[in-house]
């Protein structure tokens, strides 16, 4: 049974559908990457999975249970974590307080998971008493991922985790994503830096106009001349 | 030296009294703004409501305090705080929550709060009458005249019992609020919601709970401020309504959204008022003999007359909005 199984998902804001039948399945051991042109519905799909917009048709299963149209806080309880692209930290709160807020629903986790998150992201330990708003973009992204990891999710959704970061930080974030995945957390992320992201992807989903255009392993997609020509800039 | 005592009585004590009251009001205003993003104009009347509850309870049980040796109104205040907190939550459920659910603009909420102001004032007038009444039903207001142990000083430092309670309770409230916001899980969740409501929700923070807690805190603090103000002077149905301007000035001076900025702002406005109405001629009096003859000391050398005290917070408010709209602590800008 896949960790996440989205079948024929239609959905959008209000009555307008942006997703017109998306299929996506990943296992707990996998990193899934969603790529595609602007307006393809990549982030929309992530938000649909996290209950931030209405799914009008189709179904989304987490560990076999239907979860579509459940509110985000229920999904957090069921083992899903979401890192939005922007505004993904509490800027006036310290790094440690940000992480504590991640475990708001599971207060017993705080002590144990703080240690684990600091292991994943050593720079955060030094800065734990600094307000998150004063950190650099890359470190802020680490805080955001750390916050989402605090409740020990089975599945972590990342919306463009490397947007606006320098190539150096981009590689660092991808490294962390692989490490987190190796620790048993399934990852589904949307990325603009398609080539680099597909390189670490077990599964890649190329969306266009709210539908799957190509679905394969990351390596296969990178090798596919059609994908390269239309979506990876040659 | 006598002049210095005048200064202590009229500026230091009087400024601290208004400062404390403004601070407690402004904290409520700023907390409500950071969570619900609107300027709550009915705040002054929540203060009056708290004082009115104390008046009601004190009239019902005038002897209650005598048994333990503290003034009855102070003893019954926790009950009034609970009632005011309940009222605040009730008002939110009845009037503000449906509006929020519709996703209205902040200005609609502000106007709604003006409506609540009129309603609350009307209700209080209906039961309490329009005149003033003392919260000291059976007790007597203690006034302490502390003689200064210096030969030449004849004027005592004057401080009243409710003022001492006010200072004590202000300090306790500030420390309590600090511990709540920085140590407790709920307090941190409140700051998280103020920082980033969407992310707070995505972290599983129940926003309805936070909204209710915010109203309870604001209501409780409003009740303390209203009661101690009414103890210091007398209870009137429109007493706290006229504090709305200095309270908002204090919240904006401190930087809206910063509870501790609001406290600082409260004291800034309180002391500015006290300094503006203080008769500076008093301090010049000892030098009267050494002044040249053509310079006669006028009997009153205050910046503004006491009856125009309200221009001080108004001036501060306009000045801060023009020159530093985010306040001392870089808060949000009220829209």
Does B205 touch chain A if contact means CB atoms closer than 8 Å?
yes
Decide if B92 contacts B215 (C-beta within 8 A).
Answer: yes
- B191, B196, B204 member nearest A104 (Cβ): B204
Contact A76 B204 (CB under 8 A): yes
Chain B closest-CA separation from residue A220 CA (Å): 34
Beta bridge partners of A80: A155
Domain positions in chain A: 1-79+153-234, 84-152
The C-alpha of A213 sits at a distance from chain B's nearest C-alpha, in angstroms, of 30
Residue B202 to residue A89, Cβ atoms within 8 A: no
Along chain A (234 residues), what's the average pLDDT of each consecutive run of 10 residues? 93 86 94 92 93 91 93 90 93 95 91 94 95 93 95 95 89 93 95 91 93 91 86 66
Question: Is the Cβ pair B189, A105 closer than 8 Å?
Answer: no
Label the pairing between strands A54-62 and A4-12: antiparallel
Q: To the nearest whole angstrom, how far is the Cα of A118 from the nearest Cα of chain B?
A: 19
Query: β-strand A80-83 against A4-12: which pairing, if any?
Result: unpaired
Residue-wise pLDDT tens digits, B117-174: 999 999 999 998 888 888 887 777 888 888 888 878 888 889 999 999 999 999 999 9
Q: What is the pLDDT of residues A69-99, one digit of tens each?
A: 898 888 999 999 999 999 999 999 999 999 9
CA A15 to chain centre: 25
Subunit contact A101:B200, Cβ cutoff 8 A? yes
* The predicted structure's pLDDT at residue A226: 87
A160 and chain B: CB distance < 8 Å anywhere? no
**Is the CB of residue A68 less than 8 Å away from at least one CB of chain B?**
no
Considering only the beta carbons, identify the residue of A76, A92, A107 that sits closest to B185: A107
Q: Is the ipTM of this complex over 0.90?
A: no
* Nearest residue of chain B to residue A74 (CA atoms): B204
Q: B237-279 pLDDT, tens per residue?
A: 988 888 999 999 999 999 888 899 999 999 999 999 999 988 8
The CA dihedral of B175, B178, B183, B187, to the nearest 10 degrees, is: 130
- pLDDT tens for A191-225 read 988 899 999 999 999 999 999 999 999 899 999 88
Q: What's the number of CA atoms in the CB half-sphere (13 Å) around residue A57?
A: 10
Average pLDDT over chain B reads: 90
Q: Is A41 on the interface with B (CB under 8 A)?
A: no
DSSP A143-208: HHHHHHHTT--SEEEEESTTTT--HHHHHHHHHHHHHHHHTT-EEEEE-SSHHHHHHT-SEEEEEE
pLDDT bracket for residue B54 (50, 70, 90): very high
Half-sphere exposure of B145 (CA within 13 A, CB side): 5
Which of chain B's residues have a Cβ under 8 Å away from the Cβ of A90? 191-192, 195-196, 199-200
Residue B204 is nearest to which of A88, A90, A105, comparing CB atoms?
A105
pLDDT over 90 for what percent of chain B? 60
Q: Is residue B192 within 8 angstroms of chain A, CB to CB? A: yes
Task: Identify the CATH class of A1-79+153-234.
Answer: alpha beta
Confidence of residue B333 (pLDDT cuts 50, 70, 90): low
pLDDT at B335: 54
């Amino acid at each position: 049974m896949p960790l996440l199984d989205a079948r024929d998902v239609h959905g959008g804001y209000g009555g307008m559908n942006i997703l017109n039948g998306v299929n996506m399945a990943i296992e707990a051991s996998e990193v899934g990457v969603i790529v595609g042109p602007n307006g393809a519905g990549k982030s929309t799909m992530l938000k649909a999975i996290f209950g931030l917009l209405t799914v009008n048709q189709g179904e989304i299963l987490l560990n076999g249970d239907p979860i579509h149209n459940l509110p985000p806080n229920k999904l957090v309880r069921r083992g899903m974590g979401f890192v939005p692209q922007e505004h993904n930290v509490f800027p006036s709160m310290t790094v440690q307080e940000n992480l504590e807020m991640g475990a708001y629903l599971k207060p017993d986790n705080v002590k144990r998971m703080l240690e684990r998150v600091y292991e994943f992201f050593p720079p955060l330990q030094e800065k734990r008493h600094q307000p998150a708003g004063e950190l650099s973009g890359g470190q802020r992204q680490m805080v955001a991922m750390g916050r989402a990891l605090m409740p020990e999710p089975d599945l972590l959704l990342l919306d463009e985790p490397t947007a606006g970061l320098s190539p150096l930080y981009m590689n660092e974030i991808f490294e962390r994503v692989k490490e987190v995945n190796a620790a048993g957390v399934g990852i589904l992320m949307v990325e603009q830096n398609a080539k680099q992201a597909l390189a670490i992807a077990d599964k890649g989903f190329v969306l266009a106009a709210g539908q799957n255009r190509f679905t394969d392993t990351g390596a296969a997609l990178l090798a596919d001349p059609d994908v390269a020509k239309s979506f990876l800039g040659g | 030296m006598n002049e210095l005592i005048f200064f202590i009585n009229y500026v230091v004590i009087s400024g601290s009294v208004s400062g404390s009251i403004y601070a407690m009001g402004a904290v409520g205003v700023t907390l409500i703004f950071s969570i619900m993003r609107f300027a709550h104009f009915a705040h002054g009347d929540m203060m009056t409501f708290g004082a009115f509850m104390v008046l009601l309870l004190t009239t019902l049980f005038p002897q209650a305090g005598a048994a333990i040796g503290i003034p009855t109104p102070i003893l019954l205040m926790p009950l009034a705080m609970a009632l005011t907190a309940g009222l605040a939550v009730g008002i939110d459920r009845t009037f503000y929550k449906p509006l929020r659910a519709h996703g209205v603009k902040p200005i609609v909420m502000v106007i709604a709060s003006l409506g609540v102001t009129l309603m609350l004032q009307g209700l209080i007038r209906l039961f309490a009458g329009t005149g003033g009444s003392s919260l000291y039903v059976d007790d007597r207001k203690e006034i302490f005249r502390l003689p200064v142990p210096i030969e030449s000083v004849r004027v005592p430092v004057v401080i009243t019992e409710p003022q001492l309670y006010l200072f004590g309770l202000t300090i306790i409230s500030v420390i309590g609020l600090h511990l709540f916001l920085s140590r407790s899980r709920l307090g941190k969740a409140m700051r998280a919601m103020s920082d980033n409501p969407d992310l707070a929700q995505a972290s599983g923070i129940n926003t309805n709970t936070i909204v209710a807690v915010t109203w309870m805190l604001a209501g409780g603090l409003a009740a303390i401020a209203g009661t101690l103000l009414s103890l210091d002077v007398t209870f009137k149905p429109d007493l706290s309504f006229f504090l709305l301007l200095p309270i908002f000035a204090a919240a904006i001076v401190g930087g809206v959204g910063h509870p501790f900025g609001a406290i600082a702002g409260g004291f800034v406005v309180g002391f500015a008022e006290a300094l503006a109405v203080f008769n500076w001629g008093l301090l010049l009096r000892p030098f009267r003999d050494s002044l040249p003859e053509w310079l006669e000391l006028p009997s009153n050398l205050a910046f503004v007359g006491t009856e125009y005290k309200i221009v001080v917070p108004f001036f501060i408010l306009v000045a801060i909005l023009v020159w530093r709209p985010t306040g001392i602590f870089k808060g949000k800008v009220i829209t």
